[in-house]
Structure 1
Amino acid sequence: MRLMKYRWIRFVCTASIVCALSLAAGIANAVPSFKEVQADFVSSEGFLLDRHGVVVHQLRLNQKERKLAWVKLEDVSPAIRNALIASEDKRFYQHSGVDWNAVAAAAWGNLWNSKTRGASTITMQLAGLLEEDLRRKSNARTTTQKLTQVLVAQWLERSWRKDQILEAYLNLVPFRGELVGVHALSRVMFDKHPSGLDQVEAATAVALLRAPNATYTKVAERACNILKDQGAPAFCQNLAGQTSLYFARLTAKSDLINVSNGPQLAPHLAQHLANKLLNANMHSLRSTLDAGTQQFAKDALTRQLSALVDRNIEDGAVLVLDNASGDVLAWVGSSGNLSDARHVDGVLALRQAGSTLKPFLYELALEKKWLTAASILDDSAINLPTASGLYIPQNYDKHFKGLVSVRTALASSLNIPAVRTLVTVTPQLFFQRLQSLGFSLREEGDYYGYSLALGSADVSLQALTNAYRTLANQGKYSAIRTSEKDPKSVMLPRLSPAATFIISDILSDRTARAVTFGLENALSIRSWSAVKTGTSKDMRDNWCIGYSDRYTVGVWVGNASGAPMWDVSGVTGAAPIWQEVMQYLNRSVSNTKSTAKKELTRTVPDDVVMHSISYDDQLEAPRNEYFIKGTEQSHIAIAKSNEIRPSITYPTAGMLVALDPDIPPDRQRIRFATQGLQQGGWILDGRSLSNPGKTKSQSGQLAQIDWMPWPGKHLLQLVDSKGLVVDEIRFEVRGAQLAIRKNTKKSK
């Protein structure tokens, strides 16, 4: 009977080989070498390097399968090698690719419908992993595929060493689900490197090869059989419970980032750059980050937020830019484990800007020569009519400072003077300036209205920090760089060098800042710096953005959920982080002498002059002030009106007025109002409403006019005493036209 069995098997095999010999030989000749397989192996992870080549982050690129780095056989625990051979191929070291004894036993078992061990050796399984045509699909392999697999296995045995076959198999074999290779399985399932697997873990891993999708009880049962074959039945005790815990890890670790043994310093930037890795088919990408700066910024954010845990604050972000190149030196997108939304990138998220937009507003006013740093603004209560009602801005501390200079107003972040300045600049012109600096605001300037002066628009930390970098570069703008693949920055002039120099000088003025913040605060460092804080409505966002000669640092803290913080301002929330990071970047400057020298070497633009300035009634102490040439002042008299250019304050541009047909027309009026003009007049739709030079109220302002509205689109112009138009707006009146005409006829 035994002789008949082998004769039958030999006959079947011989006939089949003759039929497929040419096909199999061609495939065998195309099988790669061990070195080629090793070289072609691609991990599912990508590596983000810093500017010096240091790995700062690992991230998953291939979402279809999980493969970690190739591991050498000597770095794999002997326990898993022993379990693999005991379970899959007991005569691995004796056969030459095909275990003919196992083939005969399997064929005999199939003939008599008896259950026997499979005949596929480790080498044959490797052949199936290397050749796409031989990989097992949902259906069983054809006879030709099986015979080809045999020939490829024999070719591998002649060309490769046994240790190379084992090494390649352990790196290429799929275990369960998306896990490919012993490295990925060990990290996910056992939370350790393959070199550390013990006998029980090794048996559990090998048990998955036969039934990858089996339940944990089935896997435990098979693992126990492997242990018994190895003479270790005692390890079967409580094996089901252990296997259950292993399977729980498989379910919990849904992201490869959690099982990587590499650095996890820059998850958000790594994700941001992932497409560059994929599109270029690269395994690693050198970024512009500096690993030391990234680590320090991350630690500084964690320290500060941990200290504010009782203030209902858990999120934050830090961005560090090199002024000259635009290179991102640190990109910290979240507070990590302190946050319930750590996957949200705080560098790119849109949040209300608060007072951080004020420097760009004042820069525009200085550039247009409507104001100087010495000009006086009125910090007192103001009610501005708008299309949606009265706009009544408030200062952060709810107090008014009276008359203050532009220098004091900006450095101390006073709100009312900023709003008055925007009345001069106009929301639309300010909006256009912000767009030119890369803010990409979603709405037009008139949508935000006067609240744009106080940062009602949503901006990202990335855009805001780079805009401040433009101030640091005296008005030259360029995009930021995050990787070596990004083009070199091309500087484009966007702001006035003279105006930005003066703004920077104001933002670095510790004395001017003291009105609101005092002399001792987190906005001062040992070397020269210019800095601004901001807090959005209801304390939902804290900002601190500032720059030195070499670096610009932006910090945001708040809650990704939008929940308000409790009694946290920009100075107490974001500023300490900014101060720590900036001190780290400028740590080479350590004494006051070098600081003073640093300030003196700052380049003053040719069209900026320094001039002594004094004020009536010693409103502010005499000082030397910077001016754009042609705007110099020596003494400022205190006038009753501030120095904002004349403008129409009501109605507002684009206002839509609806008339009520139930109110008599002689009772309906629109009051035209202005500010900043003492003598002049009004022109409506080309017709004068008053005589220029003769209309003046007792307060010194141009008298208001109550105009009976008439339906239609109207052009209202404000003219000075010489009849020159100094401001104009368009508005529209709708409704009640028939009723007005009817009532008008009756009155006649």
Structure 2
Amino acid sequence: MAGQGGTGRNGGKKRLVAERRYPAGSSAKPKARRKTVAKKPKASTRRKSSPKRSSNIFVRVIGGTIRWIVRLFWLIFSRVALAGAVVLGLAVFYIYTTLPPFSDQLDGRARGSVTLTDRSGTVFAWRGEQFGGQITADTVSESLKDAIVATEDKRFYKHLGVSPRGIASAVKINLSEGRGPLSGHGGSTLTQQVAKLLCLGVPFDPTKWKNQTEYEADCRQGSMVRKIKEAVYAMALEVRYSKDEILAIYMNRAYLGAGANGFEAASQRYFGKSAANVNIAESAMLAGLLTAPSRFAPTNNLKRSQERAGIVLLLMNQQGMITDAERAHAKANPAVLSDAAEQRAGGYFADWVMGAGPDFLTRDTTEDVVIETTFDQRIQNAAEEALTWVFDNKVREGSEAQAAIVVMSADGAVRGMVGGRKLRGVSGAFNRATQAKRQPGSAFKPFVYAAALDLGWSYDSPILDEPITVNIPGSGDWSPQNYDRSFHGLVTVTDAMRHSYNIPAVKLAMDVGLENVRTVAQMFGIESDLAQGPALALGASESTLLEMTGAYAGILNGGSSVEPYGLRSLRLKGDSEPLMGQEGGLGERVITPAAAEQLIYMMYNVVQNGTGARARLDGVEVAGKTGTTQAARDAWFMGFTADYVVGVWMGYDDNSPLTGVTGGGLPADIWRETMQRIQAGQPSHPLPMLRPASPPRVPGSVAQSSSNSGSRQGGDKAQNVLGDILSTIFGLN
């Protein structure tokens, strides 16, 4: 085949290059040459892949500068990162060496707790920082562990103490909601939360922080520096403890509302059972408290707490911890409070008892203390229900009037106490039964009659109700008046008390001596300063409801003084021997038993057909006395059966006058409603009183009684009639 070149002897083709380039006799030379030729394209390819330098000097300068900056940045970054890693490692190692053994991290309370039990040994109240005992991840229910992890840190078992993904997510949420990157959601892992609970290892120092609250606030402040320290501390925790140990520290230290520190205390507080025995619904409710313990506490709002638990159940289900069926069952059967937690009774009583022991074992205790009390939950509920019923049915809606109730046995053992109309979740509130000092009015008169009876007067002794004027040094003349502005002539002391006449009470007090009346009242337990003048007889001195009720208990028990008490014993938790105790409140004798029997008979007549008639109980003997102060600023009814003494006060906190209310009115109603509930299903016993063959009379008393028929005969009885009318027309202000 013809080619473009000449033809040679090898196949007819003529070489296109000179022969001199191929020496004769060398057959390998062409192959070597072909190798050389084969390499040229590769070399040519490498040269083509290299970037060509721009001919533009400006571009070359800019590009070189950028490359130099990048290399410099990388050099600095790598060195700083290396140095940071070394510093971080040293910091983690240092903190690691300072961390105490796991068991020492479980209870970090600065204060102890007080558990109060009623007369039957049932817990009814808690005070201080309650701690139920140490628990671990192995001793609580599996559902509780799952609920905590699902709620607080679903990647807990995967990270090393800090979760960059969680932090990034939290920053994104905060920015989307218009907050700063570190405001609101913190992206903290469960381990970081433990670091906060441990306050990064800084113990409470009373010389640096005013109180525990200030210390805890400092522990939880969220500055950038604090966050960095917290992250480093969390990594040290991960190195020092296992995951289950970290979880156990969290479960023991987390605050869960109502004074409960740790899940064991919270489980006992809300459900009356150990954290080892809580079911899925209860576990979800407990874990739900972690977000806002006080807001979601079931004792504050059970429905809100149940709704929060529903969210926790959803999280547990989404993370595969519970099945759809288990979630549905838990939602259909939400956790409910134990009976003791639901009642939340005795808040005023518990606060009062806390003051009965030394502060270092009660309010400021660093130990866990158990106080056995005289409290009776059935009686407390009776008093609370009675108060609620009267205000709901007999008091104008919106009234700001207050009331207080004390129930005690004849020996001074307080069984129930209501310190105001707020009944639930009471702790540290103003207690009108023990802290409010108010004038008792005519409710003080039994002590005047007690002194007179003890000094020779009799229940049937006559006394003249007539105008009198007393000169009081420094004040001038004073002329006491009966409430109805009338005088009733010769009456027995029984009738004088029954109708609450003022003038006979003043005359009796002056006859037996004001100092003797003052002494009798003080010996019966009225510790407040008593008036020096004759107005003492009309209750012008101030006293507390608790003092008055204790004094009336002294009358019931036969004339011996009584010291109201609620603490029976105080011991350290776990110990069987009490550190202190009290078995009764009876003191020395004040009046003779005979005088006490006559006085009880006279007070029995007050209820049977006198100013306290609205306190009568069917089939139960009742003795009592009404009391209404000047301008009706205070209204009292004090009374007792053979088994219990009940005192009731009513008034305004700002000392404003009541409208249409006297001691024989609403206070007597509250007293009756309380005692009816207390006596329900209980046997009744007769009063320890004198029982004369016939009622006491003085000459002309029949005619006098007949002539006064249908009219007010004095004191609180007239007030009752007027009060009923005013209550009907205007209601209570």
Alignment gaps of 5+ in structure 1: 64-68, 104-114, 174-179, 204-226, 228-259, 622-748
Q: Does 1:305 align with 2:398?
A: no
Cα distance in 2 between the residues matched to 1:144 and 1:310? 59
Deviation string for 1:77-130 (max 9, x for gaps)?
9788457437xxx5x433455779999xxxxxxxxxxx9999986435534643
Amino acid at match of 1:442: D
The structure with the larger Rg is 2
Give me the identity figure in percent.
Answer: 25
Q: Judging changes above 3 Å, is the alpha-carbon distance between structure 1 residues 510 and 459 closer, same or farther for their aligned structure 2 residues?
A: closer
Q: Mapping of 1:313-332 within 5 angstroms?
A: 314-324=401-411, 326-332=412-418
Q: Which residue of 1 aligns with 2:238?
A: 153
Q: Does 1:476 align with 2:560?
A: yes
Q: Judging changes above 3 Å, is the alpha-carbon distance between structure 1 residues 577 and 557 closer, same or farther for their aligned structure 2 residues?
A: same
Q: Which residue of 2 aligns with 1:495?
A: 591
Q: Which residue of 2 aligns with 1:403?
A: 490
Q: Mapping of 1:700-715 within 5 angstroms?
A: none
Q: Which residue of 2 aligns with 1:351?
A: 438
Contact 2:442 2:500 survives alignment (8 Å): yes
Q: Judging changes above 3 Å, is the alpha-carbon distance between structure 1 residues 58 and 561 closer, same or farther for their aligned structure 2 residues?
A: farther
Aligned partner of 2:344 among 255, 264, 267: 264
SS of the residue corresponding to residue 462 of structure 1 reads helix
Deviation string for 1:269-315 (max 9, x for gaps)?
33334455333343664432111111110111121233332496721
Contact 2:626 2:664 survives alignment (8 Å): yes
Q: Which residue of 1 aligns with 2:205?
A: none
How far off its partner does 1:376 sit?
1.0
Cα distance in 1 between the residues matched to 2:89 and 2:450? 85
Amino acid at match of 1:476: S
SS of the residue corresponding to residue 509 of structure 1 reads helix
How far off its partner does 1:143 sit?
11
Q: Judging changes above 3 Å, is the alpha-carbon distance between structure 1 residues 157 and 100 closer, same or farther for their aligned structure 2 residues?
A: farther
Contact 2:117 2:124 survives alignment (8 Å): yes
Q: Judging changes above 3 Å, is the alpha-carbon distance between structure 1 residues 57 and 148 closer, same or farther for their aligned structure 2 residues?
A: closer
Q: Does 1:441 align with 2:536?
A: no
Contact 2:384 2:423 survives alignment (8 Å): no
Deviation string for 1:193-230 (max 9, x for gaps)?
38835669999xxxxxxxxxxxxxxxxxxxxxxx9xxx
Cα distance in 2 between the residues matched to 1:125 and 1:497? 67
How far off its partner does 1:435 sit?
2.2
Cα distance in 2 between the residues matched to 1:566 and 1:430? 31
Aligned partner of 2:543 among 456, 459, 469: 459
Amino acid at match of 2:119: R
Cα distance in 1 between the residues matched to 2:166 and 2:391? 65
Cα distance in 2 between the residues matched to 1:557 and 1:96? 62
Contact 1:58 1:263 survives alignment (8 Å): no
Q: Mapping of 1:516-531 within 5 angstroms?
A: 516-517=610-611, 521-531=614-624
Deviation string for 1:650-702 (max 9, x for gaps)?
xxxxxxxxxxxxxxxxxxxxxxxxxxxxxxxxxxxxxxxxxxxxxxxxxxxxx
Q: Which residue of 2 aligns with 1:52?
A: 120
Q: Judging changes above 3 Å, is the alpha-carbon distance between structure 1 residues 3 and 162 closer, same or farther for their aligned structure 2 residues?
A: farther
Cα distance in 2 between the residues matched to 1:261 and 1:437? 37
Q: Which residue of 2 aligns with 1:193?
A: 305
Contact 1:57 1:262 survives alignment (8 Å): no
Aligned partner of 2:660 among 547, 567, 581: 567
Deviation string for 1:486-512 (max 9, x for gaps)?
53324211222221121112212369x
How far off its partner does 1:332 sit?
0.4
Contact 2:464 2:504 survives alignment (8 Å): yes
How far off its partner does 1:350 sit?
1.1
Q: Which residue of 1 aligns with 2:518?
A: 431
1 or 2 for the larger relative contact order (CA 8 Å, sep ≥6)? 2
Q: Which residue of 2 aligns with 1:293?
A: 379
Q: Does 1:126 align with 2:194?
A: yes
How far off its partner does 1:5 sit?
7.6
Q: Does 1:361 align with 2:454?
A: no
Q: Does 1:577 align with 2:677?
A: no
SS of the residue corresponding to residue 508 of structure 1 reads helix
Cα distance in 2 between the residues matched to 1:152 and 1:185? 23
Q: Does 1:505 align with 2:611?
A: no
Cα distance in 1 between the residues matched to 2:534 and 2:600? 24
Q: Which residue of 1 aligns with 2:364?
A: 279
Deviation string for 1:725-748 (max 9, x for gaps)?
xxxxxxxxxxxxxxxxxxxxxxxx
Contact 2:525 2:551 survives alignment (8 Å): yes
How far off its partner does 1:43 sit?
9.5
SS of the residue corresponding to residue 351 of structure 1 reads coil
SS of the residue corresponding to residue 567 of structure 2 reads coil
Q: Mapping of 1:98-137 within 5 angstroms?
A: 122-123=190-191, 126-127=194-195, 129-130=197-198, 132-133=200-201
Q: Mapping of 1:245-260 within 5 angstroms?
A: none
Contact 1:395 1:414 survives alignment (8 Å): yes
Q: Mapping of 1:589-604 within 5 angstroms?
A: 598=686, 602=688
Cα distance in 2 between the residues matched to 1:354 and 1:385? 21
Cα distance in 2 between the residues matched to 1:548 and 1:161? 59
Contact 2:622 2:640 survives alignment (8 Å): yes
Normalized per residue, the structure richer in strand is 1
How far off its partner does 1:554 sit?
0.7
Q: Judging changes above 3 Å, is the alpha-carbon distance between structure 1 residues 316 and 128 closer, same or farther for their aligned structure 2 residues?
A: closer
Please give the TM-score of this superposition, normalised by the length of structure 1. Answer: 0.58
Contact 1:379 1:402 survives alignment (8 Å): yes
Q: Judging changes above 3 Å, is the alpha-carbon distance between structure 1 residues 479 and 619 closer, same or farther for their aligned structure 2 residues?
A: same
Deviation string for 1:42-88 (max 9, x for gaps)?
899865443234444456x469xxxxx999786679788457437xx
Amino acid at match of 1:336: K
Q: Does 1:183 align with 2:279?
A: no
Q: Does 1:378 align with 2:484?
A: no
How far off its partner does 1:363 sit?
1.5
SS of the residue corresponding to residue 654 of structure 2 reads coil
Root-mean-square deviation (CA), in Å?
5.0
Aligned partner of 2:102 among 20, 27, 32: 32
Alignment gaps of 5+ in structure 2: 1-70, 168-180, 203-218, 258-285, 319-339, 570-580, 704-733
Amino acid at match of 2:451: L
Amino acid at match of 2:458: T
Contact 1:51 1:289 survives alignment (8 Å): yes
* Matched residue count: 517
Q: Judging changes above 3 Å, is the alpha-carbon distance between structure 1 residues 406 and 81 closer, same or farther for their aligned structure 2 residues?
A: same
Amino acid at match of 2:292: S
Q: Which residue of 2 aligns with 1:334?
A: 420
Please give the TM-score of this superposition, normalised by the length of structure 2. Answer: 0.59
Contact 1:47 1:55 survives alignment (8 Å): yes
Deviation string for 1:124-173 (max 9, x for gaps)?
55346437536788794799998775443212127x36764775686699
Cα distance in 1 between the residues matched to 2:81 and 2:630? 84
SS of the residue corresponding to residue 429 of structure 1 reads helix
Aligned partner of 2:481 among 379, 394, 405: 394
Aligned partner of 1:551 among 634, 639, 644: 644
Cα distance in 1 between the residues matched to 2:527 and 2:451? 18
Contact 2:524 2:560 survives alignment (8 Å): no
Amino acid at match of 1:359: P
How far off its partner does 1:469 sit?
0.5
Cα distance in 2 between the residues matched to 1:555 and 1:171? 38
Amino acid at match of 2:538: L
SS of the residue corresponding to residue 616 of structure 2 reads coil
